[in-house]
Amino acid sequence: MSDALSGIRILDLTHEPGFLAGKVLGDLGADVVKVEPPEGDPARRRPPFWGGTADADRSLLWLALNTSKRGITLAVDRSRGRELLLALAERADVLLESEAPGSLQARGLGWETLHARNRRLVLCSLTPFGQTGPRAGWRGSDLTAVAASGNLYSTGDPDRAPVRCSLPVSYYHGGLEAAVGVVFALLARDTTGEGQHVDVALQAAMVMPSIGTAAMFKMTGQRGARVGAFMSAGRTVQREIWPCQDGFVSFALRGGPARVPGLIAMVAYMDEHGMASERLRAVDWKTYNHNLLTQAEVDALTREFGAFFATKTMAELYRAACERNLMLAPVNTAREIVASEQLAARQFLVEVDNPGRGRLRYPGAFAATSGQTVAIRRPAPRLGEHTVEILAELGLGERDVERLRAEGVV
Amino acid sequence: MSALFAGTTILEFGGGAAGPIATRYFADHGATVIRVESRRRPDFLRILRLTPTTPGGLDGSAHFAVLNVNKLSVALDLSRPEGVAVARRLALAADAVAENFAPGAMARWGLDYGSLVRDRPDLVMISTCLNGQTGPHRHYPGFGGQGSALAGFNHLTGWPDREPVGPFGTITDSLSPRYAALLLGAALLHRRRTGEGQHIDLSQVEAGIVCLAESILTYTANGEILTRMGNRSRHAAPHGVFRCADEAGRDRWVAVAVHDDEDWQRLVDVLGRPAWAVEPALATAAGRQERVGEVEARLEEWTRTETAAHVASRLQGAGIDAAPVEDFGDLHDDPQLAHRRHFRTVEHGVLGSHPAETHAIRFSAMEPQLDAPAPRLGEHTEYVLRELLGMGAEEIDRLRAAAVLE
């Protein structure tokens, strides 16, 4: 069977916030062409580098999120470069970009111009706050987008500042929404024959990750709070992240029909190791309700579970969790993820050959489908790797490209 | 144009957050999304905070309400063969089926892809669960909080000298619905072109790990494990969240990201060029990284005396990346979210008028619509059986009398 997006040509002008959008569309079979300035995208100059060698083709951020794309360099700020981009856009289905609002327009590449040249083109813009509105002109990045979304305020410890994930989760949420927007706009185009401008904002994309809590404010009055490795339940604060012998595990005292069997199994597991007290074994799970515990009861349970976890490794505890249906998960680092037998059984990690640099293990398909339509199609492009072959589609020969290179256009 | 998915029907099994958020992308653009629910085993969001005195009982959950607007609900007893038969007819009549039960649940009812596709060769179906439909850990019984830990987000969030915390809100439950919407949309596009359906197996953990590819490659290429670093950045300094003047007894903060040396000079100007800041050693990113603690403390001396809104707008006015840290209440006064109509009001039978949010995508030629509140459990059973299956009143009455319809 053919791929979901085969035959769709995407020009990807994005910087880091938009890398994932083009990558997932490429994994679905679209022909994604990364368009970079002649000196390369700034991400190419960012460490960490593969093997520690600072080189435009060895940045791990670049290599990680630009797979399934071809690459071309083009100085779109120069008139010849702009012309070539418009010529490429005439033959494309989608243009993805993450410049500040108005910036493409100022360069003669705004929505009206693109739409006039190609009525079927979808333009997708991913920005911190969106294309219009009182804060459209604000600068933004992951930290500030998450700050303005409500999510940051409730992340972290109560006695310290709100804290973000050290990798940019707003770029992932926003990039995926951009990809959804592109597919929806392509579906709409089938009916109308026309492309449209798709405007995705990182701030707005980070509101739903609080899973409805933001909308619920009008009913609950709760502005959010930081509880660190804990969570509030009823009138108590209960631990959620626990130290174990070699790291941390996630485990909750929460009950409910889906969770109580896991708590019972956990106590049985502890009992086999002689580490479940009389009192723990005597808990009546039929009437157990974590919302009704007193803090003293929570603290007593916490001491017992904590003492047990301290004697076990993350791997031991997760193995037991899978065998016994305990609702416990290791706080994985990349090391545990790469070693996971579940991921190995699903052949999730794949080797990607990066020509001239070697093979590297990657997270593979983001889904398994009955038609094998999701996969890494090719390694991230080297700087300017496909410039000649892509310009050839516009009728330019190698000699023309040489001239453009000498002029600094490619 | 009429709504993008007008005339498209998606049948939804399961509950919680990850499944229901995914189908909202379609519902908000006109799809008929029908939840198949059960009164005996209700969606856990309907019972999360349920007490004997909750107004509306199973229909009174605010959490369920804000996530499930624009949907219909059919209540069936799936422990009975007649109930399963109705669910099967609905699945075969729908354009797509989405489910997020534990692996194997749909198969026990004979409602898995393999069983359905025999009668509906072009079926599009997506199954999402924590670890995927195959593999030794497929039955692992975790919720979103465990997914976040397994995928690596918790380890990367928090302070380096303390336990990891994880981003608020079980992040795999917010990433996986976007992947699911993308995959379902692409599958519908593909079927329109080729007539072919497909089954999609989305592991929430795997999809999360794909986002964190930079961390995986840093390990597979260099053997280095990326870890949480508070709000600091490996590439920029200062890059942090700073305390501002309290307001109405609430702690207030501002996020500031100085991306390069030009940004730093702008910040020094805003601060009024104090002696500590004009030191040449701080003019470079490397110099600021070396003394980042001191730079952060100095900056906070200034932000402490001002409101977060004032600090953010002064810095933005100078071209510096900054934003107030908004809490869930602040979002309802946020001028940018208001401009984008991120929250819309719906009228709920039990909860009254309440806001719900739509996605973050705005199209030049179509608008997301929030038309209807979340359904009461079984609110649309008869309507759906009549409209989608063409079932007559007699058959509906018989099923109701037999308690197949709950």
Q: Is the pLDDT of residue A234 over 80?
A: no
At A372, the pLDDT band (50, 70, 90 cuts) reads: low
At A229, the pLDDT band (50, 70, 90 cuts) reads: confident
Report the percentage of chain B scoring pLDDT > 70. Answer: 100
For residue A73, report the phi and psi dihedrals to the nearest 5 degrees. Answer: -105, 140
Chain A neighbors of B343, CB-CB under 8 A: 214-215
Structural domain spans, chain A: 9-209+345-406, 225-243+248-330
Q: Say if B333 is an interface residue toward chain A (CB within 8 Å).
A: no
Interchain contact, A321 vs B166, CB within 8 Å: no
Rounded mean pLDDT, A78-95: 97
Q: How many CB pairs under 8 A join A and B?
A: 506
- Nearest residue of A to residue B207 by CA position? A366
Place of tokens 């992240």: A241
Q: Say if B115 is an interface residue toward chain A (CB within 8 Å).
A: no
User: Does the structure's ipTM exceed the value 0.85?
Assistant: yes
What integer pLDDT is reported at residue A233 of this predicted model? 76
- Nearest residue of A to residue B68 by CA position? A212
The secondary structure of residue A381, as a DSSP letter, is P
What integer pLDDT is reported at residue A344 of this predicted model? 98
Q: Copy the structure tokens of residue A295.
A: 């803090």
For residue B236, report the phi and psi dihedrals to the nearest 5 degrees. Answer: -150, 150
Structural domain spans, chain B: 9-211+336-401, 239-325
- Nearest residue of B to residue A50 by CA position? B221
Chain A neighbors of B148, CB-CB under 8 A: 250
What integer pLDDT is reported at residue A230 of this predicted model? 84
What integer pLDDT is reported at residue B76 of this predicted model? 97
Q: Say if B122 is an interface residue toward chain A (CB within 8 Å).
A: no
Per-residue pLDDT tens for B240-283?
999 999 999 999 999 999 999 999 999 999 999 999 999 999 99
* B154-177 burial: b if 16+ Cβ within 10 Å, else e: bbbbbbeebbbbbbbbbbbbbbbb
Q: Is the pLDDT of residue A1 over 70?
A: no
Interchain contact, A169 vs B153, CB within 8 Å: yes
Angstrom distance (rounded) from CA A53 to CA B217:
15
Chain B neighbors of A369, CB-CB under 8 A: 183, 187, 198-201
Interchain contact, B149 vs A374, CB within 8 Å: no
CA distance A224 to chain B (A): 6
Interchain contact, B321 vs A140, CB within 8 Å: yes
Q: Is the pLDDT of residue B308 over 90?
A: yes
Q: Which of A20, A58, A60, A65 to mutate to test the interface with B (most CBs of B within 10 A)?
A: A60
Interchain contact, A64 vs B134, CB within 8 Å: no
CB B332 within 8 A of CB B321: no
Interchain contact, A161 vs B253, CB within 8 Å: yes
What integer pLDDT is reported at residue B300 of this predicted model? 98
- Nearest residue of B to residue A344 by CA position? B135
The secondary structure of residue A102, as a DSSP letter, is T
Chain B neighbors of A131, CB-CB under 8 A: 362
- Nearest residue of A to residue B313 by CA position? A138
3-state secondary structure chain B: CCCCCCCCEEEEECCCCHHHHHHHHHHCCCCEEEEEECCCCCCHHHHCCCCCCCCCHHHCCHHHHHHCCCEEEEEECCCCHHHHHHHHHHHHHCCEEEECCCCCHHHHCCCCHHHHCCCCCCCEEEEEECCCCCCCCCCCCCCHHHHHHHHCCCCCEECCCCCECCCCCCCHHHHHHHHHHHHHHHHHHHHHHHCCCEEEEEEHHHHHHHHCHHHHHHHHHHCCCCCCECECCCCCCCEEEEECCCECCECCEEEEECCCHHHHHHHHHHCCCCCCCCCHHHHCHHHHHHCHHHHHHHHHHHHCCCCHHHHHHHHHHCCCEEEECCCCCHHHHCHHHHHCCCEEEEEECCCEEEEEECCCEEECCCCCCCCCCCCCCCCCHHHHHHHCCCCCHHHHHHHHHCCCEC
What integer pLDDT is reported at residue A256 of this predicted model? 75
Chain B neighbors of A1, CB-CB under 8 A: 194, 196, 198
Chain A neighbors of B335, CB-CB under 8 A: 133-135
CA distance B162 to chain A (A): 9
Tell me, rounded to whole angstroms, the distance of Cα B165 from its chain centroid.
19
What integer pLDDT is reported at residue B1 of this predicted model? 64
CA distance A403 to chain B (A): 34
Rounded mean pLDDT, A82-109: 97
Q: Which of B331, B332, B343, B370 to mutate to test the interface with A (most CBs of A within 10 A)?
A: B331
CB B56 within 8 A of CB B64: no
* Residue A342: C-alpha distances to residues B68, B147, B207 (Å): 32, 13, 14
Interchain contact, A369 vs B198, CB within 8 Å: yes
- Considering only the beta carbons, identify the residue of A147, A150, A173 that sits closest to B175: A173
Q: Say if B330 is an interface residue toward chain A (CB within 8 Å).
A: yes
Interchain contact, A223 vs B363, CB within 8 Å: no
CB A242 within 8 A of CB A251: yes
CA distance B84 to chain A (A): 22
Chain A neighbors of B325, CB-CB under 8 A: 147-148, 152-153, 162
Angstrom distance (rounded) from CA B189 to CA B204:
23
For residue A145, report the phi and psi dihedrals to the nearest 5 degrees. Answer: -65, -45
- Considering only the beta carbons, identify the residue of B137, B187, B336 that sits closest to A342: B137
Interchain contact, B363 vs A134, CB within 8 Å: no
Angstrom distance (rounded) from CA A63 to CA A383:
11
Interchain contact, B173 vs A167, CB within 8 Å: no
Chain A neighbors of B154, CB-CB under 8 A: 241, 248, 250, 331
Q: Which of A211, A177, A233 is nearest to B328 (CA)?
A: A211
Instruction: State the amino acid at position B25 in one-letter form.
Output: Y
Chain B neighbors of A256, CB-CB under 8 A: 44, 47-48
Segments in A237-339 forming alpha helices (H): 260-272, 278-281, 295-309, 314-324, 334-338
What integer pLDDT is reported at residue A292 of this predicted model? 86
Q: Copy the structure tokens of residue A261.
A: 């069997």
Interchain contact, B362 vs A200, CB within 8 Å: yes
Chain B neighbors of A196, CB-CB under 8 A: 363-366
Pick from A125-129, A354-358, B49-53, B287-291: least confident: B49-53
Output the DSSP codes for A243-263: E-SSSEEEE----STTTHHHH
What integer pLDDT is reported at residue B373 of this predicted model? 98
CATH numeric code, B9-211+336-401: 3.40.50.10540
At A48, the pLDDT band (50, 70, 90 cuts) reads: very high
Please name the residues between 203 and 262 in chain B that touch chain A, using a CB distance below 8 Å. Answer: 203, 206-207, 209-222, 224-231, 233-235, 239-243, 250, 253-257, 259
For all residues of chain A together, what is the average pLDDT? 95
- Nearest residue of A to residue B323 by CA position? A144
Interchain contact, A184 vs B206, CB within 8 Å: no
Output the DSSP codes for A199-230: EEEHHHHTTGGGTTHHHHHHHH-------TTE
Tell me if the domain spanning A9-209+345-406 has CATH number 3.40.50.10540.
yes
CA distance B349 to chain A (A): 14
What integer pLDDT is reported at residue A243 of this predicted model? 97
Angstrom distance (rounded) from CA B13 to CA B34:
9
Tell me if the domain spanning B239-325 has CATH number 3.30.700.30.
no
Angstrom distance (rounded) from CA A204 to CA A194:
26
- Nearest residue of B to residue A139 by CA position? B321
CB B350 within 8 A of CB A236: no
* Residue A375: C-alpha distances to residues A243, B76, B186, B205, B210 (Å): 36, 38, 14, 17, 11
At B13, the pLDDT band (50, 70, 90 cuts) reads: very high
A20 by DSSP, 3-state: which? helix
Chain B neighbors of A346, CB-CB under 8 A: 132, 134-135, 203, 206
Catalytic residues of B: 173
- Nearest residue of A to residue B338 by CA position? A133
Per-residue pLDDT tens for A283-297?
999 889 888 889 999
Q: Copy the structure tokens of residue A30.
A: 């679209």
What integer pLDDT is reported at residue A125 of this predicted model? 98
Q: Is the pLDDT of residue A307 over 80?
A: yes
CB A361 within 8 A of CB B220: yes
At A210, the pLDDT band (50, 70, 90 cuts) reads: very high
- Considering only the beta carbons, identify the residue of A147, A165, A176 that sits closest to B241: A147
Interchain contact, A167 vs B21, CB within 8 Å: no
Interchain contact, A337 vs B241, CB within 8 Å: no
Residue A185: half-sphere exposure toward Cβ, Cα within 13 Å: 30
